């Protein structure tokens, strides 16, 4: 269940444009931005692009992922 909030019209209009381009609803776009902002504030040492990509990857189909296997000799010195 959502809770109605008031936001600045300029933010709403930016969210509307971005939501259309990224195939999200306007509320989902604003929520996505809020999650990125919160994660960025919680992890100030991480680049914002990394935070964004991490959040996006959490919602992708895991069956598309390819396993990463380290070879036997990959850690030899």
If DSSP codes are grouped into helix, strand and coil, which group holds residue 1? coil
| Distance linking the first and last C-alpha atoms of the chain | 55
Write down the pLDDT at residue 74. 53
* Within-domain flag for 23: no
pLDDT for 39-48, tens place per residue? Answer: 999 999 999 9
* Within-domain flag for 14: no
pLDDT for 16-30, tens place per residue? Answer: 999 999 899 999 999
Q: Are 30 and 11 in contact (CB under 8 A)?
A: yes
* Within-domain flag for 47: yes
pTM comes to: 0.66
Share the mean pLDDT of the chain. Answer: 86
Write down the pLDDT at residue 60. 74
Residue 23 region by backbone torsions, left for phi larger than 0, else alpha for psi between -120 and 50, else beta: left
The domain in which residue 41 lies consists of 31-58
* Within-domain flag for 13: no
């Amino acid at each position: 269940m959502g809770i109605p909030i008031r936001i600045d019209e300029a933010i709403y209009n930016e969210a509307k444009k971005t939501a259309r381009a990224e195939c999200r609803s306007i509320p989902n776009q604003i929520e996505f931005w809020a999650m990125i902002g919160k994660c960025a504030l919680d992890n100030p040492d991480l680049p914002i692009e990394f935070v964004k990509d991490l959040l996006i990857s959490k919602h992708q189909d895991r069956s598309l992922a390819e396993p990463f296997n380290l070879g036997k000799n990959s850690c030899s010195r």
